[in-house]
Structure 1
Amino acid sequence: MNELLKSVPESYFASVSTLNENLEIGDKPLINLAVGIPDGAAPKSVTDAVKSSVEDPKQHKYPGFRGYPSFKKAIMDFYSRHYGVTLKDENIAILYGTKSALVQFPMIFIEPGEGVFLPNPGYADYSAGVILAKGVEYDLPLLKENEYLPDYDALDQKELDNARLIYLNYPSNPLGSVASKEFFDETISRFKDTDIKIVHDFAYAGFGFDKKHPSILQSDPELSTAVEIYSFSKSYNMSGFRAGFAVGNKEMIEAINIYQDHTQTGMWGVLQEAATTALNEEDDFLTAQKDIFKKRKDMVIKELSEAEIPIEPIEGGIFGWIKVPDEFDGESFVKYLLKEESILATPGIPFGSRGTNYIRISMAIEDEQLKECIERLKGIAYLWK
């Protein structure tokens, strides 16, 4: 391991991906609220596509580096149908899961010493890519008083002059906050024709509870300024498939494609057939998925708010963001919940310095378990008084 890799902090989510036998768990059955993927199965049409294509001898060979034309057409049709965005082949990169692209992109786009603004709070592993690129991480504060949207006017001008990228993520993990088309309009207008490009992590696109979440590309019709990273993991319950795509600015997309030309030999054709089927045939599944999580969200917000447990509004996504009682920080409260209530939550600190006094809870568990968890939290509501 070289010194550069040693400089990357341990991935929090890798360290807790399996439950450690040394965890101090209470007497009640464990409820895992740290899970980051929906609890349902992939659509039947998707699994049927896998079954029907896996025996095809062509799927046992290299599939071609940059994706089947049918997969790319499905992406084009999906973005046209859902967002009114027109894409060409040059605007699409197939991804072997979206996390890899989000981490790799600074390494293939910025020069050493250049800056990347990362949301705080925001997804923990964004920063690994900046470190591996020998870039400089700049703080993009997401503050409650600004509805957890960045205030570009408050950013340091010297940092802006040195920055090449801004990462955004709406609906937000961990905050559950969302962005409007007007915000994306402002973002594109501000950074168009500058040296700064935008990477929008759209992993929770399908979880729009009041209305469909906008794509940033709706605000960038010339595809001059942004790429959007779309995941099958959450909306289609396909996390194990490791499939996604990036769409947008052709220079940014080409950087991804060239990098993958040298590091991959093409996504397995069976996965491409499965993803194509999801995009072409499962709009109703997206609606059903949204409805499941809206019901859970309404229950969580109502019950915890009535108990005066300070949870932030959940406007999108699958997570809730809760301020911990005054005598705790996020990490100590996670230990308390585990030991006293057998609830495994995620501390806010992996998401940045502004998460120190928060925990993240997931709604990606069965309804009955979620109801039981709510009752356990209500039972200790006095801690917040």
Structure 2
Amino acid sequence: MTQSKWRSGRLDRLGSSIFAEVAQWKRDARSRGVDVISLDIGTPASPPAEEVRAALAQACLDPGLYGYPGSHGSPRFRETVARWFEHRFGVALDPNREVLSLMGTQDGLAHLALAVTDPGDAALLPDPGYPVYQAGLAVAGVETVPLPLLEENGYLPDFDAVPEEAWSRIKFMLLNYPSNPLSAVADLAFFEKAVAVARRRGVLLVHDNAYSEMAFDGFRPPSILEIPGAKEIAVEFHSLSKSFHMAGARIGFAVGNPDVIATLLRFKDNIDFGVFLAVQEAAAVALERDMSEPDPASSLYERRRDLFVGALREEGWDVPLPRATMFAWTPVPEGWTSRGFARGLLEAEGVALVPGNAFGERGEGYVRMAVVEPEERLLEAARRIGRFLRSGGPGA
């Protein structure tokens, strides 16, 4: 028996293998004794707050929390989400009909296409965009219609550029602001336009708002549900992974249109039994703490952004200043491809980045850097990158 005999062809449609390649490059470098600085993966820089960890530890000792939790989410978690959402965005949610717990937003987004589409449907996805968007469509047998995000447009889409014939096949369109990988942001005026387009075209509007609490320079990302009437055609996904340092706990939530929430819940009821109740308790404490004593992760990443981008500019690389997230998205120096630059930098200097074409065709010519290392390591990474840039381009 060969490996290919037991491998589904769906795996070949799941998107870029560059993440796996970068991981292999890092292993190869470490096997040679190279000190690798990992700026490729968006891993939270700190553990959850002590109060959140204590709540998780205490809940784990409760013998009543070891039954099947249910896919909907505990009443306490859903009610806390609703209170936090109104506190943060001024939007009232019905915790029974408009809130759904998730094992992280990646889980929910990957399942969404299976829940709301049929093979042969199409979905409008950002390009560049987070790879799980494409992966969910590949598994569901849904066609991808790319929505180009161009630097000259501030990485905001031009809905009028979508081919007219495509709209009849599009079941939903997906937006992501603040954006991974682009670090771009959008305001309420943009979301008003997006809601109007979705309503006019009769498509579901899906907004991935995983970085809503990680923006800089005083900007507070809005929710698409702040637009009047948005609940009629929109759902939004949120995560506690980055902003609340709970990536390993696997907890997030979807909110919005009750019919879509019910549809996604029905799908999840058939494939999982929900998030461990102790994790939901810790997540509720994290949201409550944010409402009473906020300690936003954005301040940590804003300091690191300023330090790292400033150091890179001193080394001669004019990296754009990110508006949000834990990432910097920047063009590669002239003469390089995305993959060539990322691999060359790792092999020569031990700094790991992600080539932009991991995020779609229009990511070619860019790289994504995660400012997740301690400050002294970020400064060291900038020094190494500067040395690599001074060493010359391809073939030097």
TM-score using structure 1 length: 0.93
Matched, 1:218 2:230: no
Shift of 1:195: 2.4
**TM alignment of 1:16-55, pairs within 5 A:** 16=22, 21-23=27-29, 29-55=35-61
Matched, 1:135 2:137: no
Preserved CA contact (<8 Å) 1:94 1:244: yes
Shift of 1:381: 3.9
Matched, 1:317 2:325: yes
Where does residue 146 of structure 1 map in the other structure?
153
Once residues 335 and 351 of structure 2 are traced to their aligned partners in structure 1, the CA distance between those partners, rounded to angstroms, is: 19
Once residues 235 and 186 of structure 1 are traced to their aligned partners in structure 2, the CA distance between those partners, rounded to angstroms, is: 27
Q: Percent identity over the alignment?
A: 32
Where does residue 348 of structure 2 map in the other structure?
340
Query: Which runs of 5 or more residues in structure 2 are unaligned?
Result: 1-6
Question: Kindly tell me: are residues 142 and 238 of structure 1, through their superposed partners in 2, closer, same or farther at Cα, counting changes over 3 Å?
Answer: same
Where does residue 4 of structure 2 map in the other structure?
none
Question: Kindly tell me: are residues 375 and 166 of structure 1, through their superposed partners in 2, closer, same or farther at Cα, counting changes over 3 Å?
Answer: same
Shift of 1:334: 1.1
Once residues 88 and 28 of structure 2 are traced to their aligned partners in structure 1, the CA distance between those partners, rounded to angstroms, is: 46
Preserved CA contact (<8 Å) 2:71 2:101: no
Once residues 53 and 288 of structure 2 are traced to their aligned partners in structure 1, the CA distance between those partners, rounded to angstroms, is: 14
Where does residue 201 of structure 1 map in the other structure?
208
Shift of 1:70: 1.0
Give the CA RMSD over aligned residues. Answer: 2.1
Once residues 152 and 297 of structure 1 are traced to their aligned partners in structure 2, the CA distance between those partners, rounded to angstroms, is: 31
In terms of mean alpha carbon deviation, does 111-120 or 370-379 score higher?
Answer: 370-379
Where does residue 313 of structure 2 map in the other structure?
305
Once residues 190 and 22 of structure 1 are traced to their aligned partners in structure 2, the CA distance between those partners, rounded to angstroms, is: 48
Query: Which runs of 5 or more residues in structure 1 are unaligned?
Result: none
Once residues 24 and 62 of structure 1 are traced to their aligned partners in structure 2, the CA distance between those partners, rounded to angstroms, is: 42
Question: Kindly tell me: are residues 134 and 125 of structure 1, through their superposed partners in 2, closer, same or farther at Cα, counting changes over 3 Å?
Answer: same
Letter in 1 for 2:119: P
Where does residue 387 of structure 2 map in the other structure?
379
Shift of 1:319: 0.5
Output one character per residue of 1:104-124: Cα deviation in whole Å (capped at 9) or x when no partner. Answer: 111111122111111111101
SS of aligned partner of 2:54: helix
Where does residue 104 of structure 1 map in the other structure?
111
Where does residue 229 of structure 1 map in the other structure?
237
Shift of 1:369: 0.5
Letter in 2 for 1:372: E
Once residues 68 and 323 of structure 2 are traced to their aligned partners in structure 1, the CA distance between those partners, rounded to angstroms, is: 42
Letter in 2 for 1:131: A
Shift of 1:173: 0.8
